[in-house]
Each structure stands twice: as structure tokens, then as C-alpha cells.
Chains A and B, each alone.
Chain A
Amino acid sequence: MPLKRDTHAFLEVIQSNKGIIYKVANSYCKDEENRKDLIQEIVIQLWLSFSRYNEEYKITTWMYRIALNVSISYYRKEHRRHDINQPLPEGILYFNEDQNETRNADLDQLNVFIKELREIDRAIMILYLEENSQQEIADILGITITNVSTKVSRIKEQLREKFSNLNKL
């Protein structure tokens, strides 16, 4: 059944895939204020493109493309226009962390290592960790499967090395 293109359908898509938006934004933004702005920009771009969504591709492929494209080319200073033109609702996604929950140091470290990767490598790694197939990664990035495979192996090796160097300390 074709997807409806109204506000309700859009909000359902966002609700079901909010993790994608958050994980991508978090991987490309260091501080919280920037991340808020980036999430807002991603949601705006998703809404603007929603009517053009091509159902030939999975909805997640469409979302990854937009979230990654916006994140890679995002510069906060350029986006101050929103504040000047009209006020936009700020908080769209909230991470409601339980203060009593112990933080996973390895997970924090993995996020740090991912943020250290170059922009396109970072996109590949996120897509790989999200367990997208090589074909899906190739579709999202617009490169060949062979290229995906080579790159994923190299980046995995980099991450393994970083973790092993950390353990040596």
C-alpha cells in the first residue's frame, strides 16, 4: 500500500525511526546545542522531501540519505537564518537518560572513535554498525559494493586498533 504523505504519516515515520536521526546527529555533532539544531534541520529536510520519497527504496534508505547529507554539510553559523526569519520549535528529540544507570565506558569510547573518523568514513561505519547490507550501504552512499567492502574492512581495522591501543594504556 502506498505511503500517505500527510503530517500524521510523517510523524509516524519519524517516531518509528527516531533512533536513526539521533544516532546520525550525535555522530556529527560534539555539543548538545549544535545537536539540537542539527536534529531540527534533519527533520525539516525530511519533511520537505517527504512528498518526493521514492517507494522503490526502503524508508530507512531515504532517511539515512537525508540525515547523513544534512549532517555532513551542516555548518551551524549558516543555519542561524532560522532564528532570524522565524522561531522554530527547538526540542524535537529528547534523550531522557536515567541518572542512576551506569554509563557504558566502552560505548562512550566507541562514539568518540566514530567521531574521529573522516566524514564519509563515519557515514560508512554508522551504516555498517546499523547492520545495513552492503547493497544498502552502496545505495545510500552511491558507491560500488566492492568499494563498500574494502572501506568497511579498513575502518573496522582502524577501530580495532584504537581499542587495542586504549587497552595497552
Chain B
Amino acid sequence: MDESQILDLWKSYDKKLEQNLLLNRKNAEDITRIKVKSFVSSMKPLKIFTVVAGIVWVFFLGALIIALVGKATPFFLIPTGILFILNVLAVGIYFYQLILIHLVSIDEPILATQKKIASLRSSTIWIARILFLQLPLWTVFYWSVGMFKNGSIVLIILQLTITIALTLLALWLFINIKYENRDKKWFNFIFSGYEWSPVMKSMELLNQIEEYSHQS
């Protein structure tokens, strides 16, 4: 089939639509009366809530560190400090998403708009990476010098094994959670479920946009 035949085919589609496509004016008019937010703006309240809750949590962690310096053990202070930094980063990502939501305008050119929407969705993957990075910290808080001096050697070995294993796993996941690994079994296991499909799709879309940008 040559180009003109394809174009003629599409014209026949137009003709078919002209004859058979009907607009339900009442339903269309009803839409103009209902108060709805744009689908990007509808994400805003949850993001604002997360930023506010995140800031409160970060302040709490910060205050806790300041209050306990010199009093608590390094086993408590160091993981809390790392947790503080990771949570500041997470709040930063949510803040970045809020800025993107503000910048998205659905009537602007496709590539620019899609880049913002896809960046907005795919940045959620960073939240997952940070979340995994926090894992080993929760196995260290309750350590004490006394535990190492007087504790059972079996329990100490078990404790260290769990912490080291989780640290390695967290670092490995942090490095390997990326679009290039989307077809791996472990990746699909973690990111299965419909809530992740827009994120995965956005990463694929960002790749397409990147290709177009290189050719411009």
C-alpha cells in the first residue's frame, strides 16, 4: 500500500466519522458545570500533605538528634542522622514534584508537557530507592556497648548478619532500581501492581522524548 492509498484510507475514516459520530450536547454541557480539577492538579493536595508531614518528621528527627547529642549512644545518633539526611532528600523530591505539577500546562507542546509529566511520575522511583536505603538503619537503633560486652555471641552474630545483609541489599537495590532493569524478575516483583505501571510507563516515555530531543 502506498502513501496516497494510506491517506485515502484515513479520509474514508473521516467520512465515516462525519456520518456516524454524534455529540451528546447535554452531557458535554454538564461537564462545563461541574467543578473538577485538572488531572495533574488533582495530585497536588496529597503532595502538599506529604511535604508538610515530611517537614514535621524531619524537624522531629533534627530536634531528637540535637537533644540527645552527648546523651545517646552513637548506635542511635548515627542512624538517626542518616535517616534525617535521607528524609530531607525525600522531602526534596516531593517538593520537586510540586514544582513540576505547577509547571505542567496541558495545552503546551506535547514533548515539553510529556517530559514534565513523565519526570513527575518517574521521580517516584527515587522515593522507593530512598525507602530501601533506610532499611538497615532500623536494625541498629537499639544497639548498645553493653550488648557487645555482655550479650550472647550467637545473638551478636545474628544481629550483625541481619544488619550487614540488609545494608548490602539496600545498597544493591539503590544502585539497581533503574529503568534498564525493568525486565528483570526481581524488579517486576517489587514494582508489580497497577500503582507502579504509570511510573514504569513514564520512564519508557522519557526515553522516547530523549530520542526526539537528540534528533532536534
Query: Interface of A with B (CB < 8 Å)?
Result: 7, 10-11, 14-15, 18-19, 22-23, 40-41, 43-45, 47-49, 52-54, 62, 65-66, 68-70, 72-73, 75, 77-79, 81-82, 85-86, 88-98, 104, 106-107, 110-111, 118-121, 123, 129-131, 139-144, 147, 150-151, 156, 159-160, 163-164, 167
Asked if residues B7 and A131 are in contact (CB atoms below 8 Å), the reply is yes
Q: How many residues of B contact A (CB 8 A)?
A: 53
Asked if residues B27 and A91 are in contact (CB atoms below 8 Å), the reply is yes
Given A88-B31, A129-B10, check contact A22 B21 (CB 8 Å): yes
Query: Interface of B with A (CB < 8 Å)?
Result: 1-3, 6-7, 9-10, 12-14, 16-18, 20-32, 34, 36, 38-39, 42, 106-114, 117-118, 194-195, 197-198, 201, 205, 208-209, 212, 215-216
A-B contact pairs, 13 of them (CB 8 A): A18-B23, A69-B114, A77-B198, A79-B39, A81-B42, A88-B36, A92-B23, A119-B205, A120-B111, A120-B114, A141-B109, A142-B109, A151-B212
The B interface, classified by DSSP as helix, strand, loop or mixed, is helix
Asked if residues A43 and B20 are in contact (CB atoms below 8 Å), the reply is no
Asked if residues B117 and A82 are in contact (CB atoms below 8 Å), the reply is no
Residues of B close to A7: CB separation below 8 A: 29, 32
Residues of B close to A142: CB separation below 8 A: 108-112
Give which listed residue, B10, B14, B194, B216, contacts A77 with CB less than 8 A: B194
| Complex alpha-carbon distance, A6 and B42, angstroms | 24
Asked if residues A69 and B110 are in contact (CB atoms below 8 Å), the reply is yes
Asked if residues B24 and A19 are in contact (CB atoms below 8 Å), the reply is no
Asked if residues B110 and A68 are in contact (CB atoms below 8 Å), the reply is yes
Asked if residues B107 and A62 are in contact (CB atoms below 8 Å), the reply is yes
Given A18-B21, A47-B32, A143-B216, check contact A90 B27 (CB 8 Å): yes
Closest CB pairs A-B (n = 3) = A142-B109, A89-B27, A163-B1
Given A19-B17, A147-B215, A163-B1, check contact A91 B24 (CB 8 Å): yes
Asked if residues B23 and A93 are in contact (CB atoms below 8 Å), the reply is yes
How distant is A89 from chain B, measured CB to nearest CB, in Å? 4
How distant is B145 from chain A, measured CB to nearest CB, in Å? 51
Query: Most A CB atoms within 10 A — which of B6, B25, B117?
Result: B6
| Complex alpha-carbon distance, A85 and B23, angstroms | 25
| Complex alpha-carbon distance, A15 and B22, angstroms | 9
Given A95-B21, A110-B6, check contact A11 B29 (CB 8 Å): yes
Given A119-B205, A141-B110, check contact A89 B31 (CB 8 Å): yes
Give which listed residue, B3, B25, B36, B114, contacts A48 with CB less than 8 A: B36
